[in-house]
Chains A and B, each alone.
Chain A
């Protein structure tokens, strides 16, 4: 009896020491990236849910646990970095067109400038969903695409020539929405706009400055990826700050807020008593809000399926992750459900007028229908997918029970 008592006392003391030193700090407590692993290997290669003729899928891991590294590598190397590089290319062209417009301010150059603007705005749709690394640090998204543009602030900046674009107060007076206003909104006709640029020098200076800012910020982000990439792909832990966790949370946040609410929901008056047509993206251009929404929808779908940027190849992604988990056998396949919802959302967007503001004025109920279609995807992502992956939406620091 004595021996056992001694043994118990030691064990008890060890338990006490253990309890005092175990780091159960809040950071780790509630972020649980889970995958339920089936012993049977899921062959994911067969699904060709995208309408491409030859999709080569990466073969799934045959290990006990999902290859999260492969997932991150695919996203970083084949999606994030190429899409950012494309964006930079388009921005440079935008900058060149802006320079040409500055030198010869006429209708023709205005139109070229506009073309470059919408081209780069569309490229932007492929990267707005990321808010990680340097992007997050410098508030990249906020400096690129906060709309509606704050006209008073912008005009004030133009007339005083005195502004700090890094100041948070100026987030809504720079970036694409500011360009939207400058290129389409400062006058009621093309000739009026050209006239304004010719007569008020502040506009040219401002145009130059905000584009330069966009280029600089983009360079910062792209440059950081040369070293950040390795950090990013190796961060597979199940914590709040791991790449997988942040990437997934950012994606869901973007789908719910940047895409669903900003482009469709808020203008359609879902969150307010009345319809707000002037809150659509690219409002002043009038004809591009639908183009941008469609481009974003494509980007969302591509990310989910792990489709390489500018290619038909796919690799490890949230889709393959979910397919690997496929916990309850007699439930419908979750990733298929999600891509179906994306598809119907896309169809719904396509049925709207090119000019969202006009669509809202004429028949806003149709836009609400599009909102509902998008909303179905939100539930699947935020509830079903997060439960399967067991990633918590947020960082809540408290005990669970």
Chain B
């Protein structure tokens, strides 16, 4: 088996798919940054809030005041450079670092597709995406006709992981047996022409969408892998993602996935795209550069090891929820970073009681004094947000001179249409509880099964 894998790593393939991937990926990222900026989200999400939720271990990553704009400029420019393949290695590393820093600044804005972009750009650091049809080729005056096959396959594997895990996540009783949460979301789209008024209101449609969504996620990587089903699969990809784009407010995600799945096509297909691009930018004069037959890594073994370890981590990480007790949807321990995309409808109401342990006087905090509505909404049903905010409140009022501050949460959560239930034990002083990656015993256990 290892002999075969040695052979596999020695296989070569044409570089066009990877080059096109680089071009389109960089371009989409550049457009994403512009879109983000133009919607004023830098201000509303990173500059205006007084408080930011942090990822565990990354408390030191904070918005940079006015310099935050510079961060976004760096991110956007590096994406553009990645696209045209200018100083590729440096650009992709810069993009990865700046984009990831942006995402780490506030946990409130976590989105699965942002996580996807982070890990994808990390992977791309190690891929020879600049060896064909890039500005770097022009500068170095050479290009490569063949690159190791595993470099393109690694992207295919990453995309497959996203889809398959998203599909696996949908195998739960709420999604399949109760058509939840689509049963809540779809009927609200009564304004959509043709289907909104009647079809989206029908229960059988809710079940159809739930089941076909799950089947699509699980099967699409395989349909894309095999040449015979590829064209049909890509049509499905477009239909599926456009449909979700119309239905849900999920931003760039559908378009990123459509573009990303092009990697499954062979080099002939990508050659056509490259010719199209060449026509578009044809005013640029012709260059004469040398063709090198095969691209060889300098540190081949090291790079392949890194990528293999990276992919293994990606395969294992989404399963970490099994080491936690209790219900995953309720406790959310291990929920993030596991491709649980648009999977549940969860709403909460959480306020905090600040008690002066000495005088026993208490008062309730108005969350609006500290959090934006978006932050308050996210905090209200996620325990890791709740404890971080509780500590923040406790420290804030301690600074004001109160002594022996105790913080208690009055919290109710409704999940997938169930009646709201008390979420956090109201008698536990959260100031005494530690923030950690361990299970939080102060979450009141979920009394149903999913």
**Known A-B contacts A4-B231, A8-B231; A397 and B39 likewise in contact (beta carbons under 8 Å):** yes
Residue of A nearest to B380 (CB): A383
Does chain B have a CB within 8 A of A273? yes
Binds B, one of A123-131, A286-294, A328-336: A328-336
B373 and A384 contact, CB distance less than 8 A? no
0/1 string, A3-19, CB within 8 A of B gives 1: 01101110110011011
Binds B, one of A26-34, A98-106, A170-178: A26-34
Output the least CB separation between B316 and chain A (Å).
Answer: 22
Does chain A have a CB within 8 A of B250? yes
Does chain A have a CB within 8 A of B145? no
Distance, CA A332 to CA B374, complexed state (A): 30
0/1 string, B35-56, CB within 8 A of A gives 1: 0000111001100000000000
A396 / chain B contacts, CB cutoff of 8 Å: 372-374, 377
Does chain A have a CB within 8 A of B189? yes
Q: Which of A329-364 contact B (CB under 8 A)?
A: 331-332, 334, 337
Distance, CA A386 to CA B246, complexed state (A): 22
Distance, CA A283 to CA B413, complexed state (A): 37
Question: Of A24, A265, A271, which contacts B249 at CB under 8 A?
Answer: A24
B203 and A24 contact, CB distance less than 8 A? no
Distance, CA A390 to CA B185, complexed state (A): 7
Does chain B have a CB within 8 A of A387? yes
Residue of A nearest to B273 (CB): A9
Question: Of A12, A22, A379, which contacts B245 at CB under 8 A?
Answer: A22
**Known A-B contacts A273-B361, A273-B363, A398-B109; A384 and B185 likewise in contact (beta carbons under 8 Å):** no
Binds A, one of B5-13, B92-100, B341-349: B341-349
Q: Which of B337-389 contact A (CB under 8 A)?
A: 341-342, 345, 347-349, 356, 361-366, 372-374, 377
Distance, CA A33 to CA B294, complexed state (A): 57
Output the least CB separation between A274 and chain B (Å).
Answer: 7
Q: Could you tell me how many residues of chain B have their Cβ less than 8 Å away from some Cβ of chain A?
A: 67
B373 and A39 contact, CB distance less than 8 A? no
A394 / chain B contacts, CB cutoff of 8 Å: 373-374, 377
A331 / chain B contacts, CB cutoff of 8 Å: 417-419
B238 and A12 contact, CB distance less than 8 A? yes
Question: Of A35, A269, A383, A397, which contacts B44 at CB under 8 A?
Answer: A397
Distance, CA A352 to CA B12, complexed state (A): 84
Number of A-B contacts defined by CB within 8 Å:
164
**Known A-B contacts A19-B255, A328-B417; A273 and B356 likewise in contact (beta carbons under 8 Å):** yes
A29 / chain B contacts, CB cutoff of 8 Å: 249
Output the least CB separation between A249 and chain B (Å).
Answer: 11
A22 / chain B contacts, CB cutoff of 8 Å: 245-246
A387 / chain B contacts, CB cutoff of 8 Å: 184, 345, 347, 414, 417
A384 / chain B contacts, CB cutoff of 8 Å: 414, 419-420
Does chain A have a CB within 8 A of B412? yes
A30 and B197 contact, CB distance less than 8 A? no
A4 / chain B contacts, CB cutoff of 8 Å: 231
Does chain A have a CB within 8 A of B437? no
A271 and B366 contact, CB distance less than 8 A? yes
0/1 string, B387-410, CB within 8 A of A gives 1: 000000000000000000000000
**Known A-B contacts A15-B242, A387-B345; A399 and B249 likewise in contact (beta carbons under 8 Å):** yes
A9 / chain B contacts, CB cutoff of 8 Å: 272
A5 and B231 contact, CB distance less than 8 A? yes
Distance, CA A369 to CA B188, complexed state (A): 37
Does chain B have a CB within 8 A of A38? yes
**Known A-B contacts A384-B420, A401-B342; A379 and B363 likewise in contact (beta carbons under 8 Å):** no
A383 and B412 contact, CB distance less than 8 A? yes
Output the least CB separation between A98 and chain B (Å).
Answer: 37
Does chain B have a CB within 8 A of A238? yes
Distance, CA A214 to CA B353, complexed state (A): 38
Question: Of B201, B417, B420, which contacts A380 at CB under 8 A?
Answer: B420
Does chain B have a CB within 8 A of A298? no
Does chain A have a CB within 8 A of B253? yes
B39 / chain A contacts, CB cutoff of 8 Å: 26, 397
Question: Which of the listed residues B184, B235, B245 has the most CB atoms from chain A within 10 Å of its own CB?
Answer: B184
A386 / chain B contacts, CB cutoff of 8 Å: 347
A247 / chain B contacts, CB cutoff of 8 Å: none
Output the least CB separation between B157 and chain A (Å).
Answer: 22
A401 and B412 contact, CB distance less than 8 A? no
**Known A-B contacts A64-B202, A383-B414, A398-B41; A5 and B249 likewise in contact (beta carbons under 8 Å):** no
A270 and B418 contact, CB distance less than 8 A? no
B364 / chain A contacts, CB cutoff of 8 Å: 265, 270-271
Does chain B have a CB within 8 A of A272? yes
Question: Which of the listed residues A272, A382, A392 has the most CB atoms from chain B within 10 Å of its own CB?
Answer: A382
Does chain B have a CB within 8 A of A374? no
**Known A-B contacts A4-B231, A396-B377; A12 and B184 likewise in contact (beta carbons under 8 Å):** no
Does chain B have a CB within 8 A of A37? yes
B347 / chain A contacts, CB cutoff of 8 Å: 383, 386-387
A12 and B258 contact, CB distance less than 8 A? yes
B203 and A401 contact, CB distance less than 8 A? no
Distance, CA A9 to CA B265, complexed state (A): 12
Does chain B have a CB within 8 A of A280? no
B183 and A382 contact, CB distance less than 8 A? no
Output the least CB separation between B279 and chain A (Å).
Answer: 14
Question: Of A32, A334, A380, which contacts B185 at CB under 8 A?
Answer: A32
A39 and B191 contact, CB distance less than 8 A? no
Distance, CA A216 to CA B229, complexed state (A): 72
Does chain B have a CB within 8 A of A36? yes
Output the least CB separation between B137 and chain A (Å).
Answer: 25
Does chain B have a CB within 8 A of A378? yes
Output the least CB separation between B422 and chain A (Å).
Answer: 9
Does chain A have a CB within 8 A of B111? yes
A379 and B420 contact, CB distance less than 8 A? yes
B112 and A36 contact, CB distance less than 8 A? no
Question: Of A11, A24, A332, A334, which contacts B238 at CB under 8 A?
Answer: A11
Question: Which of the listed residues B245, B248, B347, B412 has the most CB atoms from chain A within 10 Å of its own CB?
Answer: B347
B41 / chain A contacts, CB cutoff of 8 Å: 397-398
Does chain B have a CB within 8 A of A388? yes
A271 and B184 contact, CB distance less than 8 A? no
B417 and A399 contact, CB distance less than 8 A? no
Q: A5-B269, A238-B188, A273-B362 are in contact. List 13 more A-B contacts (CB 8 A).
A: A5-B231, A7-B235, A8-B235, A12-B258, A39-B203, A269-B363, A327-B184, A334-B419, A397-B40, A397-B41, A399-B249, A401-B113, A401-B250
Interface residues of B (CB under 8 A from A): 39-41, 44-45, 109-113, 178, 183-185, 187-191, 197-198, 201-203, 231, 234-235, 238, 241-242, 245-246, 248-255, 258, 269, 272, 341-342, 345, 347-349, 356, 361-366, 372-374, 377, 412-414, 417-420
Give 6 CB contacts A-B under 8 Å.
A37-B201, A39-B202, A271-B366, A384-B419, A400-B249, A401-B341
Q: Which 6 A-B pairs have the closest CB atoms?
A: A34-B188, A399-B251, A29-B249, A394-B373, A37-B201, A401-B111
